Structure formats: C-alpha cells, structure tokens
A and B are shown apart, each in its own frame.
Chain A
Amino acid sequence: MRSVRVAVAAALVVVALVLQVAVFPHVAWEGIVPDFCLLVVVAAALVRGPAFAATLGFGAGLLLDLAPPADHVVGRWALALVVVGYVAGLMRQDTRTPVTTVIATVAASSFVGTSVYALTGLVLGDAVAGSGDLVRVLLVSLLWNVLLTPLVLPGVMRLLTRLEPAGAR
C-alpha cells in the first residue's frame, strides 16, 4: 500500500509538472502559469499533514529544478515547496476541511512559495526579477492558483484520502 501511495504521489507531481511547462504556457499571462506542483503539495498537506507534504514538496521541487527547461540553482524550488508543505500542513484539520480554509491555504502557500523562491535567488545571486516584476508575478500566480483550486484540489484530495493508511485518522 505504501508503494502505491508513493507511486500515485509521484505520478501526480509528474502530471503537474508537464501541465505547468508544456500545456499551460499556451494560455499563460506573460508567461505566468498556475503552479500545479504547488497545488498538489498543498492538497497532500491538507490530507496527510506536514511531514508527508514536506517530503512530497522536496521531490516535486527537485523535479522542477532539474527537468528542462529549468536553468536556476538546484534546490531553490525544493526548499520553497518544503516550506509550503510544512506551512500548509499546519492548516490540516481532523474534520473535513472547509472550502474557505482550502482557498486561504492555497493563497498563503502560493505567496510563501514564490517569496521563498525569490529570496533564495536574492541570496544566491541567481536570476531575480525587479521588485515590480516580482509583485506582478506573485499576484498573478496567486490568482491563477486560487482560480485553479476548485478544479484541481477536490480531485487530488479525494484521491489522496482514499489512499490514506487505515486508522490514520
């Protein structure tokens, strides 16, 4: 069962990455696409808690850092998504997560993820946009993520809930 869970989580992340780099650029605004990988990590955090989500975030971030056409320092998205997994995991509730909590968590995670990524770029002297561009990217990606939340999160969360180990809740 454990291997099935890992396989499903990995498959979700791969699909998210392909959507992010090969499909959604066609409808992107100024190249800003929805962060599908982040949405998968948030869904995992809300279903399974911070430990699982942070680990998944590490894997998803590593994929984002290594898969073409990425060209930034490896580990930047990994760190950002580890932080996102942890922070979103704190919002996990024992009962069914209310819609408002889900949306607020996605918005906060989107903000935190992009900010951490930008900050590491600043520290490492890697590619960073100007502050005006940064704010635009932050806001537009946040909007994208919140808009995509009703389409992506319920399905992913249901799938992960079904695969949850029995008695974990």
Chain B
Amino acid sequence: MRLPRPSRRPVSRLLRGYRPLRPGPDSSDQRADRSRLRSRMFALVLACLTLMTLDHHPGAGSPLEPAREAMGSVFGPVEAGTSSVVRPVTALGAWFTSTRDLHRDVAALRSENSRLRAQQAASQYQRNQLAEFQGLTSAADTLGRALVPARVVAYGPAQSFSRTVTIDAGSRAGVQPDQTVLDDDGLVGRVLRVTPTTATVLLIVDTESVVGGRVGASMKVGFLEGRGGLGDHGTLDLQLVDQSEAPAKGDTIVTWGSQGGAPYVSGVPIGRVTAVYASLRESSQRAVISPFVDFAALDLVGVVVPSGTHSDRGVIEADGRLQ
C-alpha cells in the first residue's frame, strides 16, 4: 500500500538531495537516512580514490596486478565461451550479401587484379632482386620464430579510451607478455598480460602504444604513436628520428624491431603513409599512417613465440610447418 505523500514546500531535488525510502512524518528518520547515505558515499568515493592511488602506475609493479590476473582467469573463459556462441550469428551477415553486390565485387576485383598484374610485370626484376636480399637478411630473423594462432574474444569499449582486446590463447598456449601480435594484414599489437587461457593485447592504435617503425622506401626509422581510434579513425602518427626527412605519401611502414624481438619483431608491415604535415616553426614532420589491419574487425590473429615453444595447440613454424 502506498502512503499519501506529505505536503512539502517545493525544494529543488538536487538541493534536497536524497528522498528517503520511507516517506513519513518522522523527520529524524529522514535525517538518519541522509547521514547514512552521506557516510556510504564518502566511503565509496574514498575506496575509489584509494584504488586509483594504488594502481597509479599500472603494470607489473602495481599491487592490483594479482587482482587483475585473478579476474582475468575467471572472465577470460567466460568471454571466450560467449564469443564462440556469438561468432556463428555475426557470420550470418555474409549470407545476405546479394548477387548484385557479388557481381560488383567481382568487377572491382578483376580491375584491381589486372592493375596489380601490370604493376608486377613492370617491377619483376627489382622484385626478384629484393626477394633475394630479403631472403638473406631476414633468414636470421624469421628462423627461430613461430606463430600461435588465437581468436579475439573481447574488445575493450571505446568509452574506456584504451584500445585493448582479449585473445583466447594464454600461458598454456605458450604466450608470454611482450610478444608481437599480428594478423594476415600486418601488425596488431603486443601482449600486455596473460592468464592461463587468455591474454590481453594492447593494439598499436592505442594512445599509449609506441612502435619503432621503418619507412620501406628510404629505410629511415621513426616512432609510431596510436591516435586511439578504430575503423576509419584508427590512424597512427609517425615521427622520424631524422626530423629533416619526410616520408612520401604511399610509403609503406614496417616494424623496426626491438632487441631480442620483444615486444616487436622486425619487418612486420604496419601501414601506409596517407598524409604528411610539416610544421615550419618546429621544423618537424608528422606523417599520418593508415594501418593495414582493420582494427574494428579483428578475428584470427597470431602471436609470435620462440620456435619450439610448448603449446596446447598447433604452432605454425616459420617454414609453414604445423607443429
């Protein structure tokens, strides 16, 4: 039964603050309710601030890292399970592509194919030469590396302003923190932390991600920083170490590589230069890179692990062998 509300003089809801659960003539009850709410709010906000202070520098040294790991081992399998249930449904969209769309796709692909073939014919010789050199130089790099296949099972919401995903391969599959993650188009990111069955990956488009990159045409090196977007807005900024140099539009950027291949192995394609901005005053150049990977539609990825890593699944060796 609902009690009739006692008449009250109109006070703004925000000024009055909290309306007690039990409206009644007893004003001391109201006051007690209000003070209880105040102390609870105080405690909650204080708890949040304490947590933020403790975790101010996230990473291996944070006292909350064990909590993250525990939560990861509980939630990782839940996310992987949900994702495997949802995947067939999301794949359904492809079935509804109409014949007309397919015809248009075939025409577009055919013209692109002939264009590429012409291009290839023109540069066959250079290509062969390059392939030989590359084979020589990269043999040492590619030898001793293998790929652990994994699927992206969860995305961090854009509202969190950090670009991270969960993959369904963890320490049992041989994945360790600071390993390179890539897909068939190019560089995806690096592993931040692992649980037995899942791993969290920092995408290169995250604002806190910095990747050493090399301009394919001039071999100049620089640093790529993410802008925090996905899809069309998912671009990277390239700043070359030699600030007087500017990459040309259309140049391909590959990874420079870190010592020991962690966190990034060398020679993985990252993206293409789409625009170059020159700041005359600071005499520096900033190039915008559009990544090859479509970060809004990540699915199958590979984690670069040392060859011979013990894994709970098939590991793709450098020579294409499945182990």
A151 near B: Cβ within 8 Å? Answer: no
Contact B14 A137 (CB under 8 A): no
B195 touches A68 (CB 8 A): yes
Inter-subunit contact A75/B158 (CB<8 Å): no
Tell me whether B51 and A78 are in contact (CB under 8 A).
yes
Please measure, in the bound complex, the distance between the C-alpha atom of A72 and the C-alpha atom of B68, giving whole angstroms. 11
Given contacts A68-B71, A69-B155, A127-B161, contact A54 B166 (CB under 8 A): no
CB closest chain-A residue, reference B232: A30
Q: Does B82 contact A (CB under 8 A)?
A: yes
Which residues, 13 to 49 on A, are CB-close (under 8 Å) to B? 14, 17-18, 20-23, 25-26, 28, 30-33, 35, 49
Judging by beta carbons under 8 Å apart, are A71 and B162 in contact?
yes
**CB interface residues, A 76-125, toward B, < 8 Å:** 76-79, 82, 86, 89-92, 94-95, 114, 117-118, 120-121, 124
Report Cα–Cα, A77/B82, bound state, in Å. Answer: 23
In the complex, what distance in Å separates the CA atom of A137 from the CA atom of B90? 24
Known contacts: A32-B157, A90-B18. The answer to whether A69 contacts B166 by CB under 8 A is yes
* Complex Cα–Cα for A154 and B113 (A): 53
Tell me whether B259 is interfacial, beta carbon within 8 Å: no
Nearest first, the 5 closest Cβ-Cβ pairs linking A and B are A75-B51, A25-B155, A31-B158, A79-B48, A75-B52
Give chain B nearest CB distance to A16 CB in angstroms: 11
* Interface range for B: 35 or more
Given A21-B154, A22-B153, A68-B154, answer yes or no on A91-B13 (Cβ-Cβ < 8 Å). yes
Of B56, B160, B295, the contact of A77 (CB 8 Å cutoff): B160
Q: Which residue of B lies closest to A123 (CB)?
A: B52
B302 on the A face (CB < 8 A): no
CB-defined contacts of B19 to chain A, threshold 8 Å: 49, 90, 92, 94
Contact residue among B41, B157, B165 (Cβ-Cβ distance under 8 Å from A86): B41
Report the bound CA distance from A28 to B78 in whole Å: 20
Check: B284 CB closer than 8 A to any chain A CB.
no
Instruction: State which of B64, B157, B296 has its C-beta within 8 Å of the C-beta of A21.
Output: B157
Quick check: is A7 within 8 A (CB to CB) of the other chain?
no
Contact of A129 among B58, B90, B207, B295 (CB under 8 A): B207
State in angstroms the CA–CA spacing of A86 and B45 once bound together: 11
Q: Is B100 an interface position by the 8 A CB rule?
A: no
Residues of B within 8 A of A65 (CB): 51
Would you call A73 an interface residue if the criterion is a C-beta within 8 Å of the partner chain's C-beta atoms?
yes
User: CA A65 – CA B163 in complex, angstroms?
Assistant: 14
A169 touches B21 (CB 8 A): yes
Assembled-state Cα–Cα distance A21/B192 (Å): 17
B176 at the interface (CB under 8 A from A): no
The interface stretch among B104-112, B132-140, B196-204 is: B196-204
A–B complex contacts, Cβ < 8 Å, 20 sampled:
A21-B156, A30-B231, A33-B157, A51-B41, A58-B48, A67-B72, A68-B166, A68-B195, A69-B165, A70-B68, A70-B156, A73-B58, A75-B52, A79-B52, A82-B44, A90-B19, A92-B19, A95-B2, A133-B228, A137-B159
Judge whether B30 is part of the interface by a CB distance below 8 angstroms.
no
Taking A58-B44, A73-B55 as known contacts, 14 extra A-B pairs with beta carbons closer than 8 A to each other, sorted by chain A number, are: A21-B166, A23-B82, A25-B157, A31-B230, A50-B37, A68-B200, A70-B156, A71-B192, A73-B56, A74-B55, A74-B58, A75-B48, A79-B48, A120-B52
